[in-house]
Amino acid sequence: MRISAVETFVLKLPAEEAYLGRLADGSAPEAGYRVREPWRSLYSDRYETLLVRLTAEDGTTGWGEALAPVAPEVPAAVVDLLLAPVLIGSDARAPRPAWSRLRDLMRERGHLVGHQADALAAVDIALWDLAGRLAGRPVAELLGGAFRTRVPTYVSGLPRPDDAGRAELAREWADRGATAVKLHLGHGVEADLATIDAIRESAPELRVAVDAHWAYPIDQALRLADGLARRGGWFLEAPLAPEDVAAHAELVARATIPVAVGESLRNRFEFAQWAGARALRIAQPDVARTGITEAMAIAEVCAAQHVPVAPHHSVGLGVAVAAGLHVSAAVEDLPAFEYQPTSLRVGERILARQLAVEPSAMSLPAGPGLGVEVDAEAVAALAKES
């Protein structure tokens, strides 16, 4: 069975609430791409993504998604121009050989990360979905079997502009059954600790993690890690500049709370460097940036260093969620999978039926492939509107 067609769909979906919520002054983000202080990265006021559909000779389709929250047109062009011509005619039942061949197309030219990796991830997820559907088996089964069919989750982000609002939302999530939250901070050590204190006072039963968005030099990151540890915190994510392996290793050696890293990394070679340098204690690959094949390789690299894997997830839609769940089910040492409530609601626009989600866990989608049914007509219509 051969692949007969490769299609890309760029989506830019509006929502009632932008990713990460309103700005610090309570206003809505401006249209387009903007830096949200104090963070460095560009953010969109919409939920942007790239979907890829592969079709086999018998008409069976598989869907993939790239985490491409800014300019998804770029990885779409990579798929259309560089990957699709090689994919056409490939064995639709063999995702790993296809991944290896596609990865090597631009590898010697330095394109193993960035937009090239995002494009590869979308195609790889679609390859696994297609292979699973042709075999009549779930992706987790193709990966060797699921360690769990209920994947533990934490609520990511309390998108309110002040501590009072965040504390109120934390209480609401705890009342709905959530057991853990991750705060998107980086506003200064004292301000971050004040936010943690507000959450702990409002919902003391919640485990609290902090995403510092790469905001701090090492001395301040140490203070934040110490303060979070003294407050019984769970982990500190992305505290330092994303390329500074040595500083992260120093932080890991001195902190008494786990340091989590991974959303900026794309492959087993990068994770091997970080894990070997003892520069992280929780690995956070994003399956919509690594693909399923590479995510499982990353999990094995991390297992060799006794580093647990807690897959990252931010603004990806339903296909990315499903891919993350199958990898999370197939990983042996899994603390949790990231749950983005607003992204999930937006992402269900492209699905024929909703995912089974509770605040503390998600059920592994049943059925062949990724186990989700993409509404192809809805995707086509939304792509035209984007």
The domain that holds 70 is classified in CATH as: 3.30.390.10
Pair type for strands 33-35 and 259-261: unpaired
Residues 76 and 21 in one domain: yes
Core vs surface per residue 59-72: b (16+ CB within 10 A) or e: ebbbbbbbbbbebb
- Which phi and psi (to 5°) does residue 151 adopt? -100, 120
Residues 252 and 321 in one domain: yes
Closest CA to 49 of 318, 258, 236, 263: 318
Element (H, E) at 200: helix 189-202
Average pLDDT in the chain: 95
User: pLDDT for 253-277, tens place per residue?
Assistant: 999 999 999 999 999 999 999 999 9
Residues 272 and 326 in one domain: yes
pTM of the shown model: 0.96
Which residues are CB-contacts of 41 (< 8 A; sequence separation ≥ 6)?
A: 35, 213
Alpha-carbon Rg for the chain in angstroms: 20
Round to whole Å and give the CA distance between 101 and 113.
15
List the CATH number of the domain containing 153: 3.20.20.120
Element (H, E) at 55: strand 47-56
- Which phi and psi (to 5°) does residue 158 adopt? -120, 85
Share of the chain above pLDDT 70, in %: 100
Angle separating helix axes 287-304 and 95-103, nearest 10 degrees: 100
Residues 68 and 155 in one domain: no
Our count of domains for the chain comes to 2
pLDDT at 22: 79
**Model confidence at 386: pLDDT above 90:** no
Residues 132 and 207 in one domain: no
**Model confidence at 24: pLDDT above 80:** no
**What residues does 309 pair with on adjacent strands?**
283
**Model confidence at 327: pLDDT above 80:** yes
Residues 230 and 275 in one domain: yes
Residues 212 and 107 in one domain: no
Domain interval for residue 365? 142-374
Element (H, E) at 48: strand 47-56
CB 13 within 8 A of CB 346: yes
31 CA to centre of own chain:
24
- Which phi and psi (to 5°) does residue 152 adopt? -65, 145
Residues 60 and 109 in one domain: yes
**Model confidence at 336: pLDDT above 90:** yes
pLDDT at 250: 98
pLDDT at 208: 98
Neighbour-count burial of 241, counting CB atoms closer than 10 A to its CB (0-12 exposed, 13-18 middle, 19+ buried): middle
Core vs surface per residue 111-139: b (16+ CB within 10 A) or e: bbbebbbbbbbbbbbbbbbbbbbbeeebb
Residues 231 and 276 in one domain: yes
% helix / strand / coil in the chain, to the nearest 5? 40, 20, 40
Share of the chain above pLDDT 90, in %: 86
pLDDT at 215: 95
CB 9 within 8 A of CB 66: no
DSSP letters, 88-147, are TTSBTT-HHHHHHHHHTTTGGGT-SSHHHHHHHHHHHHHHHHHHHHHHT-BHHHHTT--S
Residues 114 and 180 in one domain: no
Size of the chain in residues: 386
Residues 124 and 146 in one domain: no
Residues 256 and 341 in one domain: yes
pLDDT at 207: 98
Round to whole Å and give the CA distance between 287 and 324.
6
